[in-house]
Amino acid sequence: MLNLRTEFIWTVIVTLAAIFVLPLFIDPSEQTILIAYAMMALSLSFIWGQGGILCFGQTAFFGLGGYAFALGSIILGDAWAALPFAIIIPAIFAAGLGAMMFYGRLSDVYSAVVTLVVTLILFTFMNSTAGEGYTLFGARLGGYNGIPGFDPLYVPGSPDDFLFDLPLYSFFVVLLALAYFGLRVLLKSSFGRIIVGIRENELRAELMGYDIRLYKTITFAIGGALAGLAGAMFADWAEQITPKVFGLALAAESIIWVIVGGSSSLFGAIVGAAALGYLKFRLGEQQLIDNSLIMGGLLILFVLLLPRGVVPMLADWFGGRWRRSGMARRQSSGNRVTRRMRQQNGR
């Protein structure tokens, strides 16, 4: 296990690389969406890989965050003021949904199905809000066409300079890095260790005296908050939000990202989302094979051949080599100590 200091240094290095090196190879204005996807995958990886809560409908919180941001920007007339709502509203929604599932003692599979149904209900509902009557403080929900044309985030202090292209991309990368490192710190805290314990054995955790319903609800709400932020990032970049964000396609894709990247690794989720999001973008440029077919095929391949995902496998591989060489070093120094002791005794 890396200590937090080492992890912090690595986070900074990867962040700087993402800001200064990656844009040499990809177009940041086009690919900012990958950072939003990565944030959603991170949130899903946290509740699923760490907290053990399988959620098929992380898009519910993603979409709610996007809508909260768009509506907030219109109603408040200020995108920055809308941003907190895009985090708080999905978090409260997730807390409510989580409390219902966990205090109601739904089994894992039922919970997962409930989350999927919730996102599909939101999808259907938002699609049906085209009429004039569907407004919130004067802002129209827009039905199938969603909400276009709200003001996006701007350079602080000068409301007319909208953030876009490399600065927006960089800002989102920093947000993602903060979220990632924040979760790493959380996982090292007592709370984090307890939720991992609950994932490992709910009955044991309960018999130790932990109220697993409460811990799981809080974990779920944290995931909801981050997914909401991801949704706001998406809406800000796309400059519109439509009910599609609640749809089955994105819900399924987010699961695939986490599986391919490796559900036991938070960083794996980021890599999975960015890599597969980019792959999808490139595949979208060709007409030969349907995109979802490839995504589905990838999922099957990974579940069969690499069930733990890319990042944990690589980490084990490199970690194993590193540990082996470290062990060899320790052993040889141990031998040296015993040899020295033997020599001293002999004298």
Partner 1 sequence: MAARPILEAYGVTMRFEGVTALENVDFQLGARELRCLIGPNGAGKSTFFKCVTGLHVPTEGQVHILGHETTGMPPHWIAGLGVGIKTQVPSVMQELTARENIWLAARRRNPARVANRIAADTLDRLELGDIADATLATLAHGKRQLVEFGIVLAGQPKLILLDEPAAGLTADEVERAIGIIREMNETAAMVIVEHDMHFVRAIADTITVFHRGRVLMEAHVDTVMNDPTVRDVYLGKQQ
Binding site for partner 1 (CB under 8 A): 190, 193-194, 196-197, 200-201, 203-212
Q: Residue 113 class from Cβ within 10 Å (0-12 exposed, 13-18 middle, 19+ buried)?
A: middle
- The least CB distance from residue 204 to partner 1, in Å, is 5
- The least CB distance from residue 32 to partner 1, in Å, is 36
By beta-carbon proximity to partner 1, the closer residue of 139 and 205 is: 205
- The least CB distance from residue 316 to partner 1, in Å, is 13
By beta-carbon proximity to partner 1, the closer residue of 179 and 198 is: 198
In 3D, which of 38, 37, 45, 36 has the Cα closest to residue 258?
A: 45
Q: Are 68 and 82 in contact (CB under 8 A)?
A: yes
In 3D, which of 269, 293, 247, 283 has the Cα closest to residue 120?
A: 247
- The least CB distance from residue 327 to partner 1, in Å, is 14
By beta-carbon proximity to partner 1, the closer residue of 49 and 146 is: 49
By beta-carbon proximity to partner 1, the closer residue of 219 and 254 is: 219
Question: Phi and psi for 159 in degrees, rounded to 5?
Answer: -60, -15
- The least CB distance from residue 196 to partner 1, in Å, is 7
Give the count of beta carbons closer than 10 Å to the beta carbon of residue 249. 13
- The least CB distance from residue 151 to partner 1, in Å, is 45
By beta-carbon proximity to partner 1, the closer residue of 161 and 200 is: 200
By beta-carbon proximity to partner 1, the closer residue of 26 and 196 is: 196
In 3D, which of 136, 16, 132, 168 has the Cα closest to residue 70?
A: 136
Cβ within 8 Å of residue 251, ≥6 positions away:
56, 57, 58, 59, 116, 119
